[in-house]
Structure 1
């Protein structure tokens, strides 16, 4: 029995005093207590279960297992390790366990292990799987931490978390002194958060020589990423790929969507059992494909078995597949997804077919017009390789593009094409904490950096020296974009926190509206109109949230059915409720006042608009012709209000206002303003910083505002004389500025 356990736990790595031996390396194979030690779980001291050995035999078949000795030796000798291996090599589940063994071998004197993921669901799935493999309880020795949910303790040995959660943790622990090993998984995706982490970890490692940093990538990193930490190539361990099966290339022109769906039906009719992954480009394509396949599935012969489409939207709740062991006699699942989800299916061993159009959608931020443009571009060669490997060595990958198409070598880093205002606010906070430099692998776009600094200056988050002001420090406490954080702080000034915290939560989580099939859209629109508030979309969101909470508190109300009846996303509303609680707790922690709810009163309505303008004065537009063509003041662009807006629905309840404040502008998708609320020009003049107003480009709209300002017209057209709850009429800027 003892010999069997030795071979299972350490394979041929167990040599006396080898780093690969972990805690058992200090004992020779002839030690008297060796058998007993190996029979007990080294992390909780309990005997291993039979499932542990079953899973261990499966783990030994993973490609990553062959590299265990090399990895452990490299980790013991140096501070930085890069491991490159595709989704099904086992890198994301095994490497963190070995790092936990490494920390255990030195009695955790330098800290525990943390492993970052891009998506919350991946962090949860991995933590559950690894806890099972390590034969420990989830939430104790192994845990996870994602936005709005923590399942771990201070003694958790291995914790999975999203990369943004680890960044927020650095605000209170800038040197990450809780951890002896930091693992950045999916580093090849080059998200803003992963790049910021890598930039800061370089500085942290200089101050903490005992810290180990491990990067996990699905594709071989480019030279500048290899050289980032050490100035010369960091140790790279390449994992053997499980290999791709048959690859079929075909040219479909622009009709990849129809070709992909035809392929799904053909696979179901003629191919062997196995699930299918279809990579599409946009969320609309995912939803449309789901609708079509559901319809087509009903007309298929029962002899073929059931076809079950599953929409998998990155980052959205309620649409995730259940990952786990294969079931017998179940339907053929068709996972409809998009980039960057190649790593999402690491545990779906039943996938046999992959359909890949070779395209992805990217959001590229234009700092001149302060909005994202959407571009459709080819995926990278590394992404294409990862998708081919998902089908496994016995599956098929259908590439809907010519074999000779030249794909880009690497993914373009998000930090050079994203709005980095939130990132700059965070880095300014890190400067206060003693991390004065973030050494980016690829530096942000200079124009985007200047725009971010300008925006923070307008929001009064910076002082005259360019450092964080007291306002900026408080803003950085909230997991919100800077404009929304400023709005929340302004609500403390205007005594409308209870309402604004709902707006902040509803606008931060995924949209609560579900868009049904075409034949049900009129019915959904009618349902949504029942919540409309004449003051605007921000107020409508409060109505929806309050109706949801009222249903929750009613013992006779089925909340999920209620959401379904009103075409609302139940999971998104639950997230908004949890996020509202988190924001309220943060306000209490930093001792900011929370107002008594007064929603519906005239003074409360005015104060909510003031708070919104305190943060979103840069997002104001005017209807220039009375027909819904809104001129955006900051960059002189004309857009329309989104059809899902109360104004866009052109309902009798809401007319088209002349001036609106909007939350978001999607430029190249539909050129629409989303979540709009009616304001007056006098309200805008009162709340916008004077130096922002004078920097607006010349326009007829600015002339109207200037004329109002010159004549001192600060009376609001629809206001009664100020009450004790309202501020006196004045053209002075709000004190929150």
Structure 2
């Protein structure tokens, strides 16, 4: 703002100087014109003495252009100096009036500005320069009321209003009446610009919120709680009052049901447990099973699956503390590409996908004495397959106890699937939650959520933290930046707000911030994905903001396109979100959609993942387990036949199946990798072309490419230029390889990452993934045939290895050159703006993509240039002659 003001003043100053110059030149020009005309009129007549004298006077009185500019600049700078000094004094006065509430940063700024003011004031007084700073005249208490009455006597609204007790009330000022009318009128405005954060500011940087911009809510439903609101204080146990871990465990709601739970497990092979988040079921039930002897003295394990990696790691850490064990010993966890367990592990938390892979080595799961499938109501793909497999295993193994933890709304369906297994209800520590809906639909739910955060913070009492549900990392980072910027502008005018986030790719040390206690006289705002619905419990949440959306994978078997799209959440998910507000006392949930939308537009339950994703990895796993009758396999919700057939076709094209639908030797090797079969094929092929090291690197980097680079707000141009240095003419696969090789050359330096605006934590994760893939590769016999010290791998060999697995993902440039078309399905797709090949002129004629993402349009992420010869070499069995000829003709044109 100051730059714009200064620029404007500069322009006005130049125009003023130029106008003066023009006036001077005009006066001189008039004299010279007069002189010339006189000479032409009478060349013999001598110049008149009086006119010559006048001309000389004008020349002496008119200043030069340089003098005028100098005078103008000095005058402006002097005035600007005094104005700035006055602004500085006003700022110091504001600080002095609020010294007790200043933050450390503001206090430091106050001392610094005080020194500057004293220095300037001393210099001006030394040179006897007046400082015309205006201050309000002092008014004595005796005559203050008289002056005030005289000033406003003509502005009173003369009529008096009768109050309820019969006494008259003074009328309003005309100014107050006008303000009230304007306020009421603003409330009726329906079209509000929601693209910007509404933080109207005053001249003194006192930021306030205009209440007319608040989101209006209706009082709607209420989630009844299991606790009486009057017992809020007595039921909440502080950390200081908990003298031991045993006290903490006994304070959980699940403790009262310990004996009832163990009795039900003893009498039934399968038990459905309905327990809300916060009841303690995830941390306590596995310990109860261990204490009851189902681990057989350490000979067998108690397993507990989680749908998300964050939940598995955080819960395992907590249980290890409760059991006074080092993480990885008696208590451990296993997630993709990370194993914190050992031979001593008794209780193991693992993702459902990792338990699914354990079926390959041990189809009966003989090393488990009891299994708990937690958060089963989320219906993830791996959980869905696990339930079908465990249904058969429990019948074959009477000694195995199976516990299915589910939300209330799904409990009956799970019970019927497991032959009418009994249901045990364990209430959570939940208080009533009042649910509020917006009166009208919100066009921009991000803006509405930001406004509601400050609306809660300014109108609702402390303490009580806020939980906001968002769809993904991008939305969370956008809102976090906006909130931090707004909080910085508001300064000490509001109570402190602490912004923290939770999503899958966030580093562990940053994830833990959401569990830290909120400082006194402040409020915490947690921005979370749907991981906070059920998987984790965050203490202190009293308010929930629910925009009503979730990000889901959606697979179209006809086009073969898998897209991550934002869709409305289900009513079951919305109720789960609302329940987060009732853990410590009565809470409130603000839904950024109407009540009519909740009951008429939201599905009752979320769509099971098995009905909306690509099943190629699951089909390969089931075939490896000897399950060949996939159509009649006992799924709780069977997927469509088209999806199964599409997966079988692709597995056959990759060489994992023979013509009879049986697994080949290559297919069994592909199944050893916890990867998409297309990636596995690339690794297995790389041995033939001597580029295994490079392919392992590229695959590990592709999995982390989304969070590899970062762009600080104040250094975006610099970050973009650094990123461009890694661009490769053949595409993103080679760009990622270059990043790794340069980092490896610095001995995996953190400083190098900082200099190149690359996330060090992301590269470390890629390094861990690569090391595990290398171990798996050696186990299946993949070795490079080229001595790395003597020869460099030609790029063509790397291209061949990648095309061998991703030949279905090849597209050609359209005739118009404005998009790309798939060889089999003729629909348009575009290179993602983050790609090193965007924009490249002329655009490559044929490219291969890693993934297709549907946002504003179909974007291809991580693309690589390919030659038509490679398409014929590796895709002739997949594409028809017509497809290949069409592609060749288009390319030639």
Q: Name the TM-score class by shorter chain.
A: 0.7 to 0.9
1:410 equivalent among 575, 592, 605: 605
Checking the alignment, whether the CA contact within 8 Å between 2:466 and 2:544 is kept in structure 1 is yes
Report whether the alignment pairs 1:86 with 2:281. no
TM-score by length of 1: 0.82
Q: By how many angstroms is 1:574 displaced? A: 1.0
More divergent stretch after superposition (630-639 vs 453-462): 630-639
Instruction: State the partner residue of 2:852.
Output: 665
Report whether the alignment pairs 1:570 with 2:760. yes
Instruction: State the partner residue of 2:310.
Output: 121
Instruction: State the partner residue of 1:734.
Output: none
Report whether the alignment pairs 1:467 with 2:662. yes
Per-residue deviation, residues 397-450 of structure 1 (Å, max 9, x unmatched): 212223342142211100010011111111111118999985211112211111
Checking the alignment, whether the CA contact within 8 Å between 1:598 and 1:604 is kept in structure 2 is no
Q: By how many angstroms is 1:606 displaced? A: 0.7
Cα distance in 2, alignment partners of residues 473 and 703 from structure 1: 38
Give the direction of change, closer, same or farther, for the CA distance of 1:702–1:65 in structure 2 (3 Å limit): farther
Give the direction of change, closer, same or farther, for the CA distance of 1:317–1:328 in structure 2 (3 Å limit): closer
Instruction: State the partner residue of 1:185.
Output: 374
Give the direction of change, closer, same or farther, for the CA distance of 1:293–1:168 in structure 2 (3 Å limit): same
What SS class does the counterpart of residue 575 from structure 2 fall into? helix
More divergent stretch after superposition (122-131 vs 371-380): 371-380
Per-residue deviation, residues 536-562 of structure 1 (Å, max 9, x unmatched): 111111011122223344xxx5x0x53
Report whether the alignment pairs 1:247 with 2:435. yes
What SS class does the counterpart of residue 441 from structure 1 fall into? coil
Checking the alignment, whether the CA contact within 8 Å between 1:426 and 1:476 is kept in structure 2 is yes
Instruction: State the partner residue of 1:400.
Output: 592
Report whether the alignment pairs 1:449 with 2:644. yes
Q: By how many angstroms is 1:674 displaced? A: 1.0
Checking the alignment, whether the CA contact within 8 Å between 1:512 and 1:570 is kept in structure 2 is no
Q: How many residues align?
A: 646
Report whether the alignment pairs 1:675 with 2:862. yes
Looking at secondary structure, tell me which structure has more helix per residue: 2
Instruction: State the partner residue of 1:286.
Output: 476
Give the direction of change, closer, same or farther, for the CA distance of 1:540–1:105 in structure 2 (3 Å limit): closer
1:199 equivalent among 388, 406, 412: 388
Instruction: State the partner residue of 1:132.
Output: 321
What SS class does the counterpart of residue 56 from structure 1 fall into? helix
What SS class does the counterpart of residue 532 from structure 1 fall into? coil
Instruction: State the partner residue of 2:574.
Output: 384
Instruction: State the partner residue of 2:54.
Output: none
Q: By how many angstroms is 1:241 displaced? A: 5.4
What SS class does the counterpart of residue 655 from structure 2 fall into? coil
CA RMSD of aligned residues (A): 2.9
Give the direction of change, closer, same or farther, for the CA distance of 1:70–1:437 in structure 2 (3 Å limit): farther
Per-residue deviation, residues 178-232 of structure 1 (Å, max 9, x unmatched): 10111111111101011111111112112212111111123432533221122x3
Instruction: State the partner residue of 1:259.
Output: 448
Cα distance in 1, alignment partners of residues 473 and 326 from structure 2: 36
1:359 equivalent among 549, 559, 562: 549
Cα distance in 1, alignment partners of residues 835 and 761 from structure 2: 21
Instruction: State the partner residue of 1:338.
Output: 529
More divergent stretch after superposition (598-607 vs 199-208): 598-607
Q: By how many angstroms is 1:238 displaced? A: 4.4
Cα distance in 1, alignment partners of residues 459 and 690 from structure 2: 65
Checking the alignment, whether the CA contact within 8 Å between 2:272 and 2:414 is kept in structure 1 is no
What SS class does the counterpart of residue 261 from structure 1 fall into? helix
Cα distance in 1, alignment partners of residues 702 and 814 from structure 2: 27
More divergent stretch after superposition (154-163 vs 517-526): 517-526
Give the direction of change, closer, same or farther, for the CA distance of 1:644–1:349 in structure 2 (3 Å limit): same
Alignment of 1:501-540 (within 5 A): 501-509=696-704, 511-516=706-711, 520-540=715-735
Per-residue deviation, residues 610-629 of structure 1 (Å, max 9, x unmatched): 11110011011111246441
Give the direction of change, closer, same or farther, for the CA distance of 1:376–1:370 in structure 2 (3 Å limit): same
Checking the alignment, whether the CA contact within 8 Å between 1:306 and 1:331 is kept in structure 2 is yes
Cα distance in 1, alignment partners of residues 726 and 837 from structure 2: 13
Checking the alignment, whether the CA contact within 8 Å between 2:502 and 2:514 is kept in structure 1 is no
Checking the alignment, whether the CA contact within 8 Å between 1:641 and 1:674 is kept in structure 2 is yes
Give the direction of change, closer, same or farther, for the CA distance of 1:671–1:261 in structure 2 (3 Å limit): same
Instruction: State the partner residue of 1:692.
Output: 878
Q: By how many angstroms is 1:258 displaced? A: 1.1
What SS class does the counterpart of residue 631 from structure 1 fall into? strand
Checking the alignment, whether the CA contact within 8 Å between 1:108 and 1:180 is kept in structure 2 is no
Cα distance in 2, alignment partners of residues 356 and 693 from structure 1: 46
What SS class does the counterpart of residue 389 from structure 2 fall into? helix
More divergent stretch after superposition (603-612 vs 436-445): 436-445
Cα distance in 2, alignment partners of residues 105 and 131 from structure 1: 16
Alignment of 1:695-714 (within 5 A): 700-701=886-887
Checking the alignment, whether the CA contact within 8 Å between 1:196 and 1:438 is kept in structure 2 is no
Checking the alignment, whether the CA contact within 8 Å between 2:438 and 2:594 is kept in structure 1 is yes
Cα distance in 2, alignment partners of residues 139 and 145 from structure 1: 10
Cα distance in 2, alignment partners of residues 374 and 159 from structure 1: 31
Q: By how many angstroms is 1:520 displaced? A: 4.8
What SS class does the counterpart of residue 661 from structure 1 fall into? strand
Cα distance in 1, alignment partners of residues 629 and 648 from structure 2: 20
2:407 equivalent among 218, 223, 227: 218
Give the direction of change, closer, same or farther, for the CA distance of 1:203–1:330 in structure 2 (3 Å limit): farther
More divergent stretch after superposition (65-74 vs 187-196): 65-74
What SS class does the counterpart of residue 171 from structure 1 fall into? helix
Instruction: State the partner residue of 1:322.
Output: 513
Give the direction of change, closer, same or farther, for the CA distance of 1:695–1:229 in structure 2 (3 Å limit): farther
Per-residue deviation, residues 661-715 of structure 1 (Å, max 9, x unmatched): 1111113443111111111101211121x3312277588326568x99xxxxxxx
Cα distance in 2, alignment partners of residues 434 and 102 from structure 1: 39
Checking the alignment, whether the CA contact within 8 Å between 1:617 and 1:684 is kept in structure 2 is yes
2:806 equivalent among 613, 616, 630: 616
Give the direction of change, closer, same or farther, for the CA distance of 1:686–1:435 in structure 2 (3 Å limit): closer
Per-residue deviation, residues 354-375 of structure 1 (Å, max 9, x unmatched): 1111222222100111112454
Instruction: State the partner residue of 2:192.
Output: none
Q: Structure 2: any 5+ residue segments left out of the alignment?
A: 1-239
Instruction: State the partner residue of 1:720.
Output: none
Cα distance in 1, alignment partners of residues 644 and 358 from structure 2: 24
Report whether the alignment pairs 1:543 with 2:735. no
Q: By how many angstroms is 1:568 displaced? A: 2.2
Cα distance in 1, alignment partners of residues 871 and 884 from structure 2: 17
What SS class does the counterpart of residue 478 from structure 1 fall into? coil
Report whether the alignment pairs 1:237 with 2:429. no
What SS class does the counterpart of residue 336 from structure 1 fall into? strand
What SS class does the counterpart of residue 344 from structure 2 fall into? coil
The structure whose Rg is larger is: 2
Q: By how many angstroms is 1:595 displaced? A: 4.4
What SS class does the counterpart of residue 672 from structure 1 fall into? strand
